[in-house]
Amino acid sequence: MSTDPNCIFCKIAAGQIPSRKVYEDDDFIAFHDINPWAPVHILLVPKQHLPSMVEVGPEHAALLGKMMSTGPRLMRELGVTNGFRTIVNTGADGGQEVGHLHIHFIGGPRPWSKG
């Protein structure tokens, strides 16, 4: 499994940087975002260093399927019952800030809603 010694998400996955972890297995880690956009905002991050969705190939299908099917379960466990957003930013023009593939699961009362 490839890692990047300078990547913050590789360091979090390796336990070198603390996080508010909600799930971990051999393939990926899930933790609370340090700058949440909503009451519940978690990131699912593969332990293998993948810079972005651009580098994803058929060999990553099982990993991504596992991440996408685990995310909804984690949101339910965290109390999100009225829907959530799933976001994957890809590349600089796509708003990706960390050069390691990650999936945002964002839920709870919508903070951007004025009501």
DSSP alpha helix (H) spans, the chain? 8-13, 61-77
Helix, strand, coil: what percent of the chain each, to 5?
A: 30, 20, 50
Active site residue 104: no
Query: H-helix or E-strand containing 32?
Result: strand 28-32
The catalytic position among 41, 49, 102, 104 is 102
Q: What single DSSP character describes residue 45?
A: E
Q: Show which residues are catalytic.
A: 102
